[in-house]
Structure 1
């Protein structure tokens, strides 16, 4: 811009504007140089209009209007019955910078709260589970409450990722997905003879109600060299049972492992078992005869029909990614993983753990008898 001095001085309009130099510039805040230009433009003769200033700075005229309205200072002169005010670029920029300084301490600056969050993340609890558990464990100490979004911000938003170096786990969050995986649109497979009378539509209505305990969902998590583990989860409490296969995945072996898992439970906690249509359960009638627990099968390509087990398998993959040879995993390691999963707080239970909910069921039945 060209500045002319003297009584009739001012700013001489320029031929190129900021928008012409950078036509695709995104929204930005006003800089100190912008504010100096605004001050000189409104004090020139003739004064620039707000629209003209906005076009030159490539901002909306309403931005200029708000800037002039917020940052006016008294000159000491009087005009009519009130003191005269004018826009001052230096004062305006000082006020703006000072308003951006954070005066309130961040929630995670509290050492005790921060320590509890780091401990939960190291135990592979999700931010939502940690936040809910804090409110349940400290109902009268709101200074120890935190939202799950605050934890996410502290982990991933640039400038606030100060929790990362305090963690002992490689991943703070389990899922690496950026969006929901759509349901399959594949056509249904051919009917298998051993599914007759054991489809999901044949399952008792009480099994579909998660309020009734004793109904289980199951599947295999497999690896190379015919390795794998059997995973079971109770639909009401989300309590998990996991056991390693002995190096083979034929139906007789799988049935034998599931029978051993189920028979450890009280009789009132083994009502039904829901599985996918894998060949490993083709001898499911042998299992039902031995345990008196009928097996029912989901529709093809419908994993959401046993969503609790799909969620459990996803949690297990956090410990043992795809490609893990379970023949090289010890039974003690599997047991330690299951112990940790069953002691995770769950939102669906008001942030109680599956083990706590299962113990409640067993205790209630024992008292009733």
Structure 2
């Protein structure tokens, strides 16, 4: 019944609270004498929340509050009648207004609402900008810019108004680098259509246009233009031409480990000559197979260690040891003698004819340790690139020899990070030229 009476009184505009004007004047006098807020509130007999409002010259009325800058905040009608309510949650024109969130500093670089209130009080008391800066630990120029930028024409500098003006000015939207029609966007899109990676494009721009600083774009910008919705600038279908063919980013996962398959006698990679390890002399190759659907088809891949030059071996019907050996012998025999030094393979059964291969080509064959594909890192990386052209789960036998030569030529024309953004063809040509 008492709550109903209070409700009727509030609706009629009848004041039902306690007159606190005398306590407020006493509190102001204590604060002017230098008494801390907590002690002054305790002496006057008010709670900390009221003492904080009085310090900030906030006036309360039935159903709301009035701030010094003229803002009026009205509480929800339902919140007034509740016996327990959140004192920090208020409402302006029916919209939630979180005072605590407003007062939380964003970053030490930005002036907080508390600092703006201090600037207002100190400037009002006649303090200079330099003395205000000393109190806040800020540069005097920061105080000068704050008072010049965020003051109103009629009422001067108001802390809450200044805080809103600064927050509205903070976003700086701009046109993204790959939006709109430009030569940079056309270059990036053309290279992506040629299946270049964003990193290759970013670094190759420096080599192709060394004098034009406008033709620069970082790798992450290209990825965001492809993957992040609303930050585009490139055709959406470009994502299907990316190496993994995904339309969205995916967290990295540990690569699958190959199982042990080779059991014949072999020469270990530990016995490979040092000249093959340091990649200084061309002619040392790494090889492997990429397998088609249901293991019914395959393509043999060869990568030269010094230049990362790629050669693909067409396998007609199957990938038995005899077929692989004959295909490798035919391909290697077409290479110059200077490029026939050694071949490193994994322990796959398809290389069980390595002795006859060595006899036919005069190339030594070395085998990796079990479950150690990283010992043929160049070839593993190349096989990942080739999956962009020959996806897993497809029939590889439908690709003829001419198509494999086109793919190899395209890969050999791509700039590589490990070659300081030269292409494999350029590096191999430089290695073979007489010094």
Same structural fold, with TM-score higher than 0.5 when normalized by the shorter chain: yes
Partner residue in 2 for 1:2: 63
Structure 1 residue 80 and structure 2 residue 126: aligned? yes
Long gaps (5+) in structure 2: 1-61, 129-146, 148-155
The structure with the largest alpha-carbon Rg is 2
Change (3 A) 1:92 1:297: same
Structure 1 residue 139 and structure 2 residue 139: aligned? no
1:246 Cα offset (Å): 0.8
CA distance in 2, matches of 1:18, 1:235: 71
Partner residue in 1 for 2:358: 288
Cα offsets for 1:330-362 (capped at 9, x unmatched):
323222211111111101111111111111122
Is the CA contact 2:178–2:234 (under 8 Å) kept in the aligned structure 1? Answer: no
CA distance in 1, matches of 2:316, 2:67: 96
1:182 Cα offset (Å): 5.5
Change (3 A) 1:164 1:277: same
Partner residue in 1 for 2:167: 96
1:17 to 83, 86, 97: 86
Aligned length: 330
1:283 Cα offset (Å): 1.2
* Paired residue secondary structure (1:306): helix
Matches within 5 A, 1:126-275: 126-165=197-236, 167=238, 170-174=240-244, 178-181=251-254, 184=257, 192-195=263-266, 198-223=267-292, 224=294, 226-275=296-345
Partner residue in 1 for 2:40: none
CA distance in 1, matches of 2:320, 2:339: 26
1:136 Cα offset (Å): 0.9
Partner residue in 1 for 2:9: none
Matches within 5 A, 1:92-131: 92-103=163-174, 105-109=175-179, 111-131=182-202
Is the CA contact 1:225–1:247 (under 8 Å) kept in the aligned structure 2? Answer: no
CA distance in 1, matches of 2:261, 2:327: 28
Is the CA contact 1:227–1:325 (under 8 Å) kept in the aligned structure 2? Answer: yes
CA distance in 2, matches of 1:72, 1:153: 42
CA distance in 2, matches of 1:102, 1:4: 35
Cα offsets for 1:224-247 (capped at 9, x unmatched):
473211100001101000022111
Change (3 A) 1:254 1:37: closer
Cα offsets for 1:41-86 (capped at 9, x unmatched):
xxxxxxxxxxxx42xx4x77435971353699989x9533569732
Q: With the length of structure 1 as denominator, give the TM-score of the two structures.
A: 0.77
Is the CA contact 2:258–2:373 (under 8 Å) kept in the aligned structure 1? Answer: no
Q: With the length of structure 2 as denominator, give the TM-score of the two structures.
A: 0.66
Long gaps (5+) in structure 1: 22-30, 39-52
For the aligned residue pairs, the C-alpha RMSD in angstroms reads 3.8
Cα offsets for 1:196-250 (capped at 9, x unmatched):
xx11112112211122211100011122473211100001101000022111222
Is the CA contact 2:346–2:368 (under 8 Å) kept in the aligned structure 1? Answer: yes
2:418 to 345, 348, 359: 348
Partner residue in 1 for 2:19: none
CA distance in 1, matches of 2:270, 2:119: 76
Change (3 A) 1:78 1:327: closer
1:293 Cα offset (Å): 0.5
Range 107-116 or range 227-236, more displaced: 107-116
Matches within 5 A, 1:322-333: 322-333=392-403
Structure 1 residue 305 and structure 2 residue 358: aligned? no
Change (3 A) 1:315 1:96: same
Partner residue in 2 for 1:320: 390
Partner residue in 2 for 1:47: none
1:284 Cα offset (Å): 0.6
Structure 1 residue 62 and structure 2 residue 108: aligned? no
1:170 Cα offset (Å): 2.0
Is the CA contact 2:358–2:364 (under 8 Å) kept in the aligned structure 1? Answer: yes
* Paired residue secondary structure (2:242): coil
Change (3 A) 1:18 1:211: farther
